[in-house]
């Protein structure tokens, strides 16, 4: 089954501002509705390379059959077209799931996502830390590949980070605080690495098919905006002189 949760999380309703909910709040709605053995989490700005979900499910099932206590399996992904290679992200050596599969039982035992401390970022990292703390492993598979379009909903991405990236910095600081014993003297950003080991040679076919038109439109919008932004800047300077 596919559970789609559509919720206006910005703007106003009947003249009143909508109270914004965290990313974790919405994810938990879906996680708690899920009834299958596995739960797949993907961003809505992604193209799934054919065979990725099946490959991930097969690898997860095989691990459990072998007696491994696997709680989550991260898919290799990349921001297209900026990143050449697919990767997963490690924080102080620990993989976390940006896109991939969870064992539903592991989500339950970990207490789901911390939806109170993080507005948008780092909650997925926190969740994987919680899954590991509950006694499960979090691993990655390069057999399942995801293309994420960095050019999709650019304004929404900027808003998620906040003015001056204050929301992003807040969430990073909360992760550091909540897992102070894990980080020790290390700063979160200093121990976060992109790991492309084992990743196959990329093939742009599916990304171009899925994102090609949207990518060209976004680039055109950026090109058209440059003269207007330059004119605004010149007018502002002239008014201030």
Tens-of-pLDDT digits for all 241 residues of the chain? 666 666 667 778 788 887 888 999 999 999 999 999 999 999 988 999 999 999 999 999 999 999 999 999 999 999 988 899 999 999 999 999 999 999 999 999 999 999 999 999 999 999 999 999 999 999 999 999 999 987 777 777 777 778 889 999 999 999 999 999 999 999 999 999 999 999 999 999 998 888 877 677 766 776 777 776 666 766 777 665 5
**Quick one: pLDDT at residue 2?**
67
Q: Do 148 and 79 contact (CB within 8 A), yes or no?
A: yes
**Quick one: pLDDT at residue 218?**
66
Helix (H, G, I), strand (E, B), or coil: what is residue 196? coil
**Quick one: pLDDT at residue 59?**
98
Phi-psi region of 169 (alpha: psi -120 to 50; beta: other; left: phi over 0): alpha
Helix (H, G, I), strand (E, B), or coil: what is residue 177? helix
Neighbouring CB atoms inside 10 A of 191's CB total: 15
Q: Do 194 and 95 contact (CB within 8 A), yes or no?
A: no
**Quick one: pLDDT at residue 222?**
64
Cα separation, 60 vs 140, in Å, equals 10
Euclidean distance between the first and the last CA atom of the chain, given in angstroms as a whole number? 62
Cα separation, 192 vs 199, in Å, equals 18
**Quick one: pLDDT at residue 185?**
96
Cα separation, 54 vs 166, in Å, equals 38
């Amino acid at each position: 089954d596919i559970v789609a949760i559509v919720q206006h999380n910005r703007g106003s309703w009947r003249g009143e501002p909508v109270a914004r909910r965290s990313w974790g709040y919405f994810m938990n709605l879906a996680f708690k509705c899920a009834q299958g053995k596995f739960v797949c989490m993907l961003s809505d700005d992604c193209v799934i390379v054919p065979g990725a979900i099946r490959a991930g499910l097969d690898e997860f099932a095989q691990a459990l059959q072998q007696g491994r206590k696997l709680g989550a399996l991260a898919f290799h992904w990349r921001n297209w077209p900026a990143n050449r290679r697919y990767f997963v992200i490690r924080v102080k050596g620990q993989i976390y799931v940006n896109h991939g599969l969870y064992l539903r039982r592991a989500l339950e035992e970990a207490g789901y996502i911390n939806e109170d401390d993080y507005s948008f970022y780092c909650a997925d990292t926190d969740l994987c830390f919680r899954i590991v703390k509950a006694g499960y492993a979090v691993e990655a598979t390069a057999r399942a590949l995801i293309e994420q379009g960095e050019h999709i909903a650019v304004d929404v991405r900027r808003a998620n980070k906040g003015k001056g990236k204050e929301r992003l910095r807040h969430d990073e600081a909360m992760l550091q605080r909540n897992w102070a014993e894990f980080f020790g003297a290390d700063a979160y950003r200093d121990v976060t690495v992109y790991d492309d080991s084992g990743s196959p040679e990329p093939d742009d076919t599916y990304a171009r098919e899925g994102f090609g038109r949207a990518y060209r439109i976004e680039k055109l919008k950026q090109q058209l905006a440059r003269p207007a932004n330059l004119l605004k800047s010149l007018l502002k300077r002239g008014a201030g002189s």
